[in-house]
């Protein structure tokens, strides 16, 4: 049972508008091999919502029609979708850059033994969750044994060339704070990660993305149960910087849910805040331009503009 979240749509967040969209971020479904405390989609092994073939077939034609160059796959664990590999292969053949939002432990799941090699073969950029370089912190947030499996996954990716100089195989890591606080300086934290992971596990990676936790879904409910929701919202709003507005991900990204519906970002998707304008479904994007239209904003948007700011590509 999750606590009831306050209404977030009433907001004084500044108006923002779309630039040209270059990225289609597709949530392939909510099934995941983990159940993380900070998960903003409530993903778990029990979820059954997964994108159907009719919508899958629209993805690449839509990207070509709108001139999009990057396909950003998320979930849940996107790799658990039965057609994940076909979609990646089709995108690769079409010259589309693919990003896989990977939780690392999926690489050691039964039936996924060849996944790392597949990702390397198709030059997939990996954005991997690793909320800390400490076993205690990671297992507390993501479950017992997750840290060791994550380290094994990173070492396997390094063996294939991921994160190594001049390999062309990009491996980025994602940090989320343990609780209702802003992430520390991204560059300083990246240096700490690189030092600790190299010294203790001989692991290399390209960049660290430091993301603020969104006060929605599972994390939002946890905040409410602990009486921390309003203080966290006040922290986000107090640290809002207008200078971060030009770099927020919604200005160049379109988010798609497992049913093919369109949103300005993955967080709006989870709150069912639909994209303004005429395009409401993947099918609509085949013939509808969205550049320049207003972006739907709400209180949670302050998590993207507080402090150093954060987006799918880390600090702004």
- Write the burial class of residue 61 (CB in 10 Å: 0-12 exposed, 13-18 middle, 19+ buried): middle
What distances in angstroms separate CA 283 from CA 58, 259, 286, 289, one per listed residue?
A: 7, 11, 6, 12
* pLDDT number for residue 156: 97
* pLDDT number for residue 288: 94
Does residue 80 sit within a domain?
Answer: yes
CATH code for the domain in which residue 178 is found: 3.20.20.70
Number of domains in the chain: 1
Does residue 67 sit within a domain?
Answer: yes
Question: What is the residue range of 187's domain?
Answer: 23-305
Residues in the chain: 316
Paired sense of beta strands 207-210 and 253-256, if any: unpaired
pLDDT in tens, 203-232: 999 999 999 988 988 788 889 999 999 999
In whole angstroms, what is the distance from residue 99 CA to residue 126 CA? 6
Does residue 250 sit within a domain?
Answer: yes
Judge whether 43 and 76 are in contact, CB under 8 Å.
yes
Does residue 310 sit within a domain?
Answer: no
Q: State the pTM of this model.
A: 0.91
Does residue 2 sit within a domain?
Answer: no
Does residue 199 sit within a domain?
Answer: yes
In whole angstroms, what is the distance from residue 28 CA to residue 51 CA? 5
Does residue 72 sit within a domain?
Answer: yes
Does residue 100 sit within a domain?
Answer: yes
In whole angstroms, what is the distance from residue 315 CA to residue 68 CA? 23
Give CA angle at 258 (253, 264), nearest 5°. Answer: 25
Give CA angle at 43 (38, 47), nearest 5°. Answer: 160
* pLDDT number for residue 1: 42
């Amino acid at each position: 049972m999750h606590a009831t979240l306050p209404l977030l749509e009433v907001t004084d967040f500044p108006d923002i508008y779309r630039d040209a969209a270059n990225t289609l971020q597709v949530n392939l479904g909510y099934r995941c091999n983990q159940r993380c405390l900070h998960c903003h989609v409530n993903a778990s092994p029990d979820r059954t919502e997964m994108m159907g073939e009719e919508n899958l077939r629209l993805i690449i034609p839509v990207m070509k029609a709108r001139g999009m160059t990057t396909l950003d796959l998320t979930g849940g664990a996107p790799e658990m979708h039965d057609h994940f590999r076909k979609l990646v292969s089709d995108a690769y053949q079409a010259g589309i850059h693919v990003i896989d939002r990977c939780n690392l432990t999926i690489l050691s799941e039964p039936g996924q033994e060849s996944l790392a090699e597949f990702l390397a073969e198709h030059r997939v950029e990996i954005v991997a969750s690793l909320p800390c370089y400490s076993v205690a912190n990671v297992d507390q947030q993501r479950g017992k044994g997750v840290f060791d499996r994550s380290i094994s996954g990173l070492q396997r990716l390094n063996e294939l060339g991921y994160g190594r100089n001049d390999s062309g195989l990009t491996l980025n890591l994602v940090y989320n704070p343990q609780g209702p606080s802003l992430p520390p300086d991204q560059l300083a934290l990246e240096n700490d990660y690189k030092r600790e992971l190299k010294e203790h596990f001989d692991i290399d990676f390209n960049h660290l993305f430091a993301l603020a936790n969104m006060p929605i879904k599972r994390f939002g409910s946890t905040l409410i149960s602990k009486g921390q929701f309003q203080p966290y919202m006040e922290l986000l709003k107090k640290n809002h910087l207008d200078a971060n507005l030009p770099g927020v991900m919604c200005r160049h990204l379109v988010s798609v849910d497992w049913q093919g519906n369109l949103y300005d970002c993955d967080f709006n998707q989870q709150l069912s805040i639909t994209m303004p304008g005429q395009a409401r479904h993947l099918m609509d994007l085949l013939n509808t331009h969205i550049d320049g239209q207003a972006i739907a904003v709400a209180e949670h948007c302050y998590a993207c503009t507080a402090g150093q700011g954060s987006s799918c590509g880390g600090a702004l």
